[in-house]
Every structure is written in structure tokens, then in C-alpha cells.
Amino acid sequence: MTSGDAVFAGSIPALYDRHLGDMLFAPYADVLASRAAAQPPRTVLEVAAGTGIVTRALHAALPNAAIVATDLNAAMIAHAATRLTAANVTWRQADAMALPFDDAAFDLVVCQFGVMFFPDRIAAFREARRVLAPGGRFLFTMWAPIEHSPLAGIVARAAADAFPNDPPSFLARTPYGHGDPAVTEGELRAAGFTHIENATVDAPSRAASAYDPAIGFCQGTPLRSEIESRDPARLAAVTESAARAVAARYGDGPIEATMRAFVFGARR
């Protein structure tokens, strides 16, 4: 991961939510919310909440729980707060590496597709464990390698083809670059967690057209910064090339692909 991999600013949050929310994140948000509701907590902390996709699912599944949703990026939290206003949901900017909460303050900590961005996962896992009450649970998801999520792979290849001498690598490097569950389980144990579980979960990835993954990945993630740092005038052209590549495989209309993620659970 590079220093720019965690920067979601400007128009990125809205594009991320609009074009990637339903396609990538909503199916796994439902998985996490269902697992959270199986042992209903009273207090929930969400880290790396992004635009609030999981927060909304948690709020629906746990109507009586007090939820604190946090993210390092103020722009993400500001956008998320426009999508959900509820008395039992608090939005707060916070760094998962140094959580501003008391020890044993939460029954459940949740993180969807955020741990790949942590500079030091073991340190972040220790923080999650610190704020959990004894017996509390930590639930999170990580993407499997990019070859198991073909829409991301197609867009990544299109961006790389546009700059063959200096190919952008954000997608394969960061969100899809940590696909060994055994490594993550070892990091959880090093952070003090026990009763660690891991499940491989495949889900459908649906979009209204090939432009959703193209715009979502090229303009709604830090891949945008990689493209613009090489040639800011080519963002639209690279996005168009990515859309054509997706359409060549899945057609011009509504598309459905597959995707794979690992769902982890651990207990303090």
C-alpha cells in the first residue's frame, strides 16, 4: 500500500457509493449484518465505515443497538451521514490505528473491506480488541485475490494497458492484494484474538451497465489518483476503455459477474 491508497476525497465518495455500492458492497453488508444479528449486541463500533453501506444494513438488522460508525476520511463520513439519520447512529471521524474510545466499550466491532488499508494490521487488530468487552466479537471482510472478482480485474487491466510503461496497480495491490486467510488469521492471533473463524463467500456482482464498474473503479477509488498522476487529461478515456472491456465480456445491458471475499470472525 502507498500513502495515497487510503485517500477518498473530492467527488470520490459519491461516485464510490453510486457505482460500487450495490455492485460490490451491499451483498457483503447483508452478510455482516446477518452475522451480527445472530448474537445481537447492545453497542457496535464500525471502523472504516466508508459511505455507510454496512452502517445502514446494521441499523436495519439491529434496530435497538447503539452504533458508532467511523472512518479516517472526513469526506466519506460526511457523505454517509447524508444517507442515514437515526437517534441510535453516531457518525465520527476516527483512525482505526488509534481509536478514541475507552477499553471494553463495545460488544461488536465491524469492518467491511477496510483492513486492507491499515498500515499495520496487527496494531489495528489490537485496537479493535482493546475496545471490545470480554467475549465481544470482531467481524470483518477482505477481498480474495483479484482473479476471483473479474469486474475489478477487467478494469485493472484496462488501466494498466493505458499506461504500459507505468501501469497503475492500486486495485491488485491494495483492496485485492491481501488474499491469504492464513496470514490474516496469524495477525489476529498475534493481536490476542481467539476463536477465529474464516469463511469464503461468493456473491453475485450486479450492475445496470458496464459503465458502473468502469466509473466506480476508475473515478470512485484511489485508482483515479493513479490515472490522473500519469495524465490528468486521460481519465475519461481510460474510463471509456474500461467500460468497453467490461461490455466485451458481459454485454452492454445489465451485467452480472461473480466476486469472492473472506468473512472473518474473532472473539476477545
Fold held by 12-267: Rossmann fold (3.40.50)
Q: Which sign does the torsion angle of CA 5, 29, 51, 72 carry?
A: negative
pLDDT of amino acid 148: 98
Angle at alpha carbon of residue 206, lines to 201 and 208, rounded to 5°: 170
Cβ atoms of residues 58 and 80 within 8 Å:
no
How far apart are the C-alpha atoms of 161 and 134, rounded to whole Å? 50
Q: Which three cell numbers stand for residue 250?
A: 458481459
Taking alpha carbons only, the member of 45, 79, 84 closest to residue 65 is 45
C-alpha R_g of the chain? 18
Q: Tell me the CA distances in angstroms from 48 to 11, 69, 256, one per residue in order.
A: 18, 8, 27
pLDDT in tens, the chain (268 residues): 554 544 454 567 788 889 999 999 999 999 999 999 999 999 999 999 999 999 999 999 999 999 999 999 998 899 999 999 999 999 999 999 999 999 999 999 999 999 999 999 999 999 999 999 999 999 999 999 999 999 999 999 999 999 999 999 999 999 999 989 999 999 999 999 999 999 999 999 999 999 999 999 999 999 999 999 999 999 999 999 999 999 999 998 899 999 999 999 999 9
Residues 6+ apart with CB under 8 A from 51: 13, 16, 17, 21, 76, 79, 80, 83
Element of type H or E holding 201: strand 194-207
Residues 6+ apart with CB under 8 A from 165: none
Taking alpha carbons only, the member of 260, 127, 264 closest to residue 186 is 264
Could you tell me where the DSSP H helices lie in the chain? Answer: 12-20, 26-38, 53-61, 74-83, 121-130, 150-162, 170-173, 181-190, 211-219, 223-230, 235-250
Cβ atoms of residues 51 and 83 within 8 Å:
yes
How far apart are the C-alpha atoms of 88 and 141, rounded to whole Å? 24
Which contacts (CB < 8 Å, 24+ apart) does range 178-187 have? Answer: 178/115, 178/116, 178/142, 178/143, 179/142, 179/143, 179/144, 179/145, 179/148, 179/262, 181/142, 181/262, 181/264, 184/115, 184/121, 184/142, 184/262, 184/264, 185/264, 187/121, 187/122, 187/125
Q: What is the SS3 assignment for 48?
A: coil
How far apart are the C-alpha atoms of 4 and 8, rounded to whole Å? 9
Q: Which sign does the torsion angle of CA 204, 1, 17, 106 carry?
A: positive
pLDDT of amino acid 126: 98
pLDDT of amino acid 225: 94
pLDDT of amino acid 15: 86
Angle at alpha carbon of residue 48, lines to 268 and 40, rounded to 5°: 45
